[in-house]
Amino acid sequence: MKRFTILGFLAVLAVASIVLAQQPQQAILRTQTGDTPVTYVLHDGHTFFAAGDVVSALGGQLTPESTGFKVALGGAVAAFGTDSRYGVVGEDLIEMPVPPQVIDGKPFVPWQFFQGLLRKSSSLDVTWDATTKVLSARPLELSAVSVQASLANVQGISKIVLTMSGPVEYTIVKEPGAYAVRFKSTIRAPFGEQTYEDPYVQKLSFSADALRIQLTAADVVADAYQLEEPFRIVLDMRKAAAPIPGATTPLPGIKPVEQPGIRTIVIDPGHGGKEVGAVGSGGLYEKDATLALCRKLAASLQSATGARVVMTRDDDSLVSLDQRTAIANQYGADLFLSVHLNAAVVKGAKGAETYFLSLEASDELARKAAETENTAAAQHATADPSADLKLILWDLAQQEYLQESSRFASTIQEELNTVTGVANRGVKQAPFKVLVGATMPAALVEVAFISNPEEEAKIQTDEFQKTMIDAITRAVQRYKTEYETRIGVAHPAPAAPPLGTTPAPAATATAAPAPAATPRTTP
């Protein structure tokens, strides 16, 4: 959670109270010891409970702090703020569909906050029945897998996240106007049915051991993948691509082969959640700066290239290094770009650096850069004794894309050198674990040095962000055009220059020529 002063916090409370004040309603908190009346409000389709009412009824204590609110309950300590949809209990995150709000000076939290808190601290399960207006807290049924469901539309994709209390087998089936997620275990659903004002999803309905996702139109399709720790099923809903004239309809269960070329790009904002990355002397977190840059970069790339652009995270969430490339592989990405900010002992270090994967670092500074990034992520990941072996195997697997990754990284570095005016720091190779597992050309770019106070200040300006985003966008466009030309994808002829002008010479990559790569298809 971002930290802010007490005065700033009070100002946020005042504004939120004016904007979000709702008519309070009464509900019942039902526990093993009896029923207690509690206050709740409805806002934008979400149910918020008065945090003080529920915490007090459960025998805990709620106290305000400069960064938000602290909850002491049954020996556990939790916290939440109005600036994030993630709370914390101990070292664990509590995911909520939307951030908490302050209404009439009192904190209100989505009921899912108590679901996450009590599961992690008291082995209790919390469910909300909007029909009977009963919030129930009862012992968690270990034989059943509990589900939390959230939906958010980001950059034209409606993301459904199903957070499970444990791993579960499932299948996803396309039905007329809907998708069905069928679980092979008994589940405890968070609700029976919930409607949404969303461009692609009309409502979610739980019945027996299945979830039905009612779509708003027949041409909405889904990409699905799963994440670990906690176990989550993610479905990204979007408009289907326009059919190719003369193409045949594939049989059910068979994925159509995509046209060759750069069709899907995955952008990876470095760090996130508890893993803040490097911190500048002015207090800027690398995780916040990379997310802000990547949101703008994704929009720029989508507009400039026409490719589908996917982000590995679109909020302040913790995503493991393995999951980042797993997402890229699941989407059948044609390019993977991880965005970071650099740090150096020398405060005056400046400029951008671009890397691609290699088991051996190209120099000592590259080795230290990879070691820093890998160590930061490892602090918040489960120890994996086979990690080194995986790195070796994926280094070998990446050989197929080594020349393309080199070309891609070189093109990015050239464009960044041009706008920064810094002498070419060169494209480097290093064992960055975030690139391990990528089955496509992949690169990691350190946009600037957050350890340099001057660059830290620039990173936060719209002008600098636009300059860097424009440079990376040009690089991706260049690489896309050059790659697709090499594999024989036709491009429309450029418009003729006005009379009396001389066309500028075409930019060329510095990487050594290589045989054309085999066109990739969706796995």
HEC string of 207-233?
ECCEEEEEECCCCEEEEEEEECCCCEE
Using an 8 Å Cβ cutoff, are 174 and 155 in contact? no
Q: Is the pLDDT of residue 198 over 70?
A: yes
Element (H, E) at 374: helix 364-378
Q: Say what the pLDDT of residue 96 is.
A: 84
pLDDT of 518 higher than 60 = no
Helices marked H in 67-168: 112-122
Q: Are 263 and 483 in contact (CB under 8 A)?
A: no
Tens digit of pLDDT for each residue in 38-85?
Answer: 999 998 888 999 999 999 999 999 999 887 899 998 888 889 988 888
Asked if 87 and 26 count as a contact pair (C-beta separation under 8 A), the reply is no
Q: How many CB atoms lie within 10 A of CB 22?
A: 14
Q: Which pLDDT band holds residue 154 (cuts at 50, 70, 90)? A: low
- For residue 503, what are its two tokens? 């066309």
Confidence of residue 110 (pLDDT cuts 50, 70, 90): very high
CA 304, 306, 310, 315 torsion-angle sign = positive
Tokens of residue 146, six digits: 């509990």
Sheet with 124-129, edge to edge strand ranges: 101-103, 106-110, 46-50, 34-43, 25-31, 134-139, 124-129
3-state secondary structure at position 35: strand
Q: Kindly indicate the confidence band of residue 241, based on its pLDDT and cuts at 50, 70 and 90.
A: low
Residue 133 or residue 430, greater confidence: 133
Q: Is 389 exposed, middle or buried (0-12, 13-18, 19+ CB in 10 A)?
A: exposed
Whether residue 123 has pLDDT greater than 80: no
Residue 505 main-chain phi, psi, to 5 deg: -65, 145
Which structure tokens are listed for 426? 């060169």
- pLDDT of amino acid 63: 93
Q: Which of 271-285, 352-366, 449-463 has the lowest mean pLDDT?
A: 352-366
CB distance 270 to 373 below 8 Å: yes
| pLDDT tens string 468-501 | 999 999 999 999 999 988 887 765 554 444 433 3
Residue scoring higher pLDDT (168 or 368): 168
Characterise 103 by phi-psi region: left (phi > 0), alpha (psi -120 to 50), beta (else): beta
* DSSP classification of residue 250: P
In the chain, the amino acid numbered 281 is S
Question: Quick one: which of 94, 116, 93, 111 has its CA closest to 43?
Answer: 111
- Beta-bridge partner residues of 425: none
Report the length, in residues, of the chain.
Answer: 523
Query: Coil, strand, or helix at residue 327?
Result: helix
From the DSSP assignment, how many helices (H) and strands (E) are in the chain? 10, 28
Which whole number is the average pLDDT over 20-30? 82
